[in-house]
Amino acid sequence: MSEYHVPVMAAEAVELLDIKADGTYADLTFGGGGHSREILAQLDGKGKLFGFDQDADALANAPRDDARFTLVESNFRFMRSQLRLRGVTQVDGVLADLGVSSHHFDTAERGFSFRFDAPLDMRMNRRGSTTAARIINNHTPEQLTRVLGEWGEIERPWRTADCIVRTRAIAPIETVGQLVEAVRPCTPPRDENKFLSKLFQAFRIEVNGEMEALKMALEQSLRVLRPGGRLVVISYHSLEDRLVKNFMRSGDFSGEVRKDFYGVAHTPFELITRKALTPTAAELAANPRSRSAKMRAAEKK
CATH number for the domain spanning 114: value is: 1.10.150.170
pLDDT of residue 223: 95
Report CA-CA distances (Å) from 204 to 3, 135, 164, 257. 22, 10, 16, 32
Q: Tell whether 230 and 86 lie within a shared domain.
A: yes
Q: pTM of this prediction?
A: 0.91
Q: Tell whether 93 and 222 lie within a shared domain.
A: yes
Q: Report whether 131 contacts 121 (CB < 8 A).
A: yes
Residues 200, 88: Cα–Cα separation, whole Å? 37
Helix axes 141-150, 192-208, angle to 10 degrees: 110
The helices-and-strands tally (H runs, E runs) of the chain is 12, 9
Q: What is the mean pLDDT of residues 217-240?
A: 97
Q: Tell whether 165 and 293 lie within a shared domain.
A: no
Q: Tell whether 246 and 183 lie within a shared domain.
A: no
Identify whether 2 is part of a domain. no
Q: Tell whether 263 and 276 lie within a shared domain.
A: yes
Query: With bands split at pLDDT 50, 70 and 90, how would you rate the model's confidence at 101?
Result: low
Nearest to 124 by CA among 141, 107, 142, 144: 107
Q: Tell whether 97 and 230 lie within a shared domain.
A: yes
Identify the domain containing residue 182 by its residue range: 109-208
Q: What is the mean pLDDT of residues 157-184?
A: 98
The DSSP call for residue 16 is: H
| Count of structural domains, the chain | 2
Domain boundary among 182, 208, 234: 208
Identify whether 4 is part of a domain. no
pLDDT of residue 99: 74
pLDDT of residue 58: 76
Q: Tens digit of pLDDT for each residue in 276-285?
A: 999 999 999 9
Residues 275, 296: Cα–Cα separation, whole Å? 7
Identify whether 24 is part of a domain. yes
pLDDT surpasses 60 at 3:
no
Domain boundary among 180, 208, 236: 208
Strands (E), the chain: 24-27, 48-52, 69-72, 91-97, 225-235, 258-259, 265-266, 269-271, 294-300
Q: Give 244's contacts (C-beta < 8 A, 6+ positions apart).
A: 214, 218, 233, 235, 296
Q: Tens digit of pLDDT for each residue in 48-92?
A: 999 999 887 778 888 889 899 999 999 999 999 999 999 999 999
Query: With bands split at pLDDT 50, 70 and 90, how would you rate the model's confidence at 103?
Result: low
Residues 277, 1: Cα–Cα separation, whole Å? 25
Domain boundary among 160, 181, 208: 208
Among the ranges given (56-60, 148-152, 193-197, 201-205), the one the predictor scored with the smallest mean pLDDT = 56-60
